[in-house]
């Protein structure tokens, strides 16, 4: 007979396994959760096969298995990178950058983002460290076999004093989007790879209740995954210099 009241049960027996599982689930629910970047929509800020930790505590705590908040600590700010449930399929997770808060007027034309009728600065980067990580293979997915790194130019965009990298395709005739005004309790999000991102320009505004947390740090990264177990990194292609890279 198992004595669940005994100290040994909770430190060495079945109880210790239960406590470990409970602790892991609590951390995943309220503090941090790991995700893997599957696409190039956030290049060059986040690379394909970057493994990231998402801070779920920064915005508050939710009722488990729901979109309802128990308590809120802060609101997502313009410039932050967030992970969220895709509004058209809540079982799918996306990662994008917040560019518009409630009440903001958003307009995008010829590679320039306008917020409340003011163009956001695009500067020549101080360094090209983000761009140096990119490979031709990062652009040749989903049938784009003739695309390559040389077709893109790297800029630093400034959002509310926050600087981050973006990519624009050379010589592209850029689409015009907007103007639209972000409604209450919603955000407008975009990918940093501006010509290769399915974001708010395609599917509309993001309800705040869909947000899971803010991307915080890259803890593992690799060029390629294993051929059979595709969710595991190929140890021969690990990008060691990206370990503990902060998500900007």
Q: Which residues fall within 8 angstroms of residue 156, CB to CB, at 6 or more apart?
A: 122, 123, 124, 125, 126, 163, 164, 165, 166
Q: Is-contact 158 121, C-beta < 8 A?
A: yes
Q: Is 216 a catalytic residue?
A: no
Q: How many other C-beta atoms are found inside a 10 Å radius of the C-beta of residue 123?
A: 10
Q: How many other C-beta atoms are found inside a 10 Å radius of the C-beta of residue 229?
A: 9
Q: Is 68 a catalytic residue?
A: no
Which among 56, 85, 96, 208 is annotated as catalytic? 96
Instruction: Single out the residue of 81, 29, 90 nearest to residue 50, CA to CA.
Output: 81
User: Percent helix, strand and coil across the chain, each rounded to 5?
Assistant: 20, 35, 45
Which among 41, 45, 165, 197 is annotated as catalytic? 41
Q: Is-contact 203 186, C-beta < 8 A?
A: no
Q: What residues are annotated to the active site? A: 41, 96
């Amino acid at each position: 007979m198992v004595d669940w009241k005994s100290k040994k049960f909770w430190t060495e027996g079945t109880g210790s396994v239960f406590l470990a599982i409970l602790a892991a689930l609590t951390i995943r629910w309220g503090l941090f959760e790991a995700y893997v970047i599957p696409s190039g929509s956030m290049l060059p800020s986040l690379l394909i096969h970057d493994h990231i930790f998402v801070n779920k505590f920064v915005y508050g705590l939710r009722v488990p298995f729901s979109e309802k908040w128990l308590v809120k600590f802060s609101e997502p700010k313009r410039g932050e990178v967030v992970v969220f449930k895709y509004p058209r399929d809540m079982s799918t997770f996306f990662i994008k950058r917040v560019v518009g808060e409630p009440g903001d007027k958003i307009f995008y034309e010829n590679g320039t983002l306008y917020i409340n009728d003011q163009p956001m600065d695009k500067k020549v980067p101080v360094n090209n460290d983000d761009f140096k990580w990119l490979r031709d293979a990062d652009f040749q997915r989903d049938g784009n076999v003739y695309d390559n790194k040389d077709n893109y130019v790297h800029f630093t965009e400034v959002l509310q004093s926050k600087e981050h990298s973006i990519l624009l395709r050379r010589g592209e005739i850029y689409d015009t989007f907007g103007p639209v005004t972000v409604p209450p309790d919603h955000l407008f999000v975009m990918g940093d790879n501006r010509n290769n991102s399915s974001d708010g320009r395609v599917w509309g505004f993001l309800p705040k209740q869909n947000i899971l947390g803010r991307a915080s740090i890259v803890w593992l990264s690799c060029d390629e995954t294993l051929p059979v177990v595709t969710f595991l990194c190929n140890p021969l292609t690990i990008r060691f210099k990206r370990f503990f890279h902060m998500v900007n």
